[in-house]
Amino acid sequence: MALIVQKYGGSSVATPERIKQIADRIIKTKRAGHRLVVVVSAMGDTTDELIELMEKVNPDPPKRELDLLLSTGEIVSAAILAAAIQAQGEKAIAFTAYQGGIITDNIHTKARIQKIDTRKMLEELDKGNILIIAGFQGITAGDTITTLGRGGSDTTALALAAALQAKVCEIYSDVEGVFTADPRIVPEARKLKQISYDEMLELASLGAKVLHLRAMEIARKFNVTLHIRSSFSEEEGTLVR
């Protein structure tokens, strides 16, 4: 049974209807004989809304409390997705970064993952559970919640794929892969079937929003195969390896 890590972005889990669609896809993968770890972002624009809420009471909020607040968005997504999977008769459990053993440094709002204790995750996978992890967050050695910065759920997914030695890390968003240009701006842009780590790193460093730069650095360092796909299509995406 191959272990697969899947990551779903904010647009993929923006509504209850979309979460149910994602649950269907996840269950289909599980029933094909795979073990699954799923990383989720906050629903839609939740993170921006939480920042706006905090700034209404403090225009210069303390970063510790801001991280605590922002971490809740991904926890909501994880809990709801796990419940949606359970409603269809499959076993699933939602984890925070603390429960998943994702340890970071002490730099609030831009923390870096230092290590991942996989023991609890492997225990749940051995029980036959689909494991749903709240992305974008971590915990310090002193049990303080941190966040990983914009695009942090990508980083969570790649770090977990490396730590768990996953067969592949599938990144799902609202685009069908990596294109020669932004297809929403350039209609004639072509989808690439495959791209190298170095090429993808260059795109990320130049501002392409397909994958976060720090996540791409992890993929290259630990030789993680990436499959960038659309959560709204069954089409093959772009392999990065």
Residue-wise pLDDT tens for the chain (241 aa)?
Answer: 899 999 999 999 999 999 999 999 999 999 999 999 999 999 999 999 999 999 999 999 999 999 999 999 999 999 999 999 999 999 999 999 999 999 999 999 999 999 999 999 999 999 999 999 999 999 999 999 999 998 899 999 999 999 999 999 999 988 888 888 877 788 888 989 999 999 888 887 776 667 878 888 999 999 999 999 999 888 899 999 8
Report how far residue 91's alpha carbon sits from residue 26's, in angstroms, rounded to the nearest whole number: 11
Check residue 11 and report its DSSP letter: T
| 162 Rama class: left (phi>0) / alpha (psi -120 to 50) / beta | alpha
How do beta strands 194-195 and 137-139 pair? unpaired
Q: Cα–Cα distances in Å, from 191 out to 162, 173, 209?
A: 26, 15, 15
Of the candidates 219, 208, 48, 71, the one whose C-alpha atom is nearest the C-alpha of residue 148 is: 71
Place of tokens 């990065």: 240
**Domains of the chain, with CATH numbers?**
3-174 (3.40.1160.10)
Report how far residue 86's alpha carbon sits from residue 92's, in angstroms, rounded to the nearest whole number: 6
Task: Work out the widest C-alpha separation in the chain, in whole angstroms.
Answer: 51
Report how far residue 54's alpha carbon sits from residue 232's, in angstroms, rounded to the nearest whole number: 33
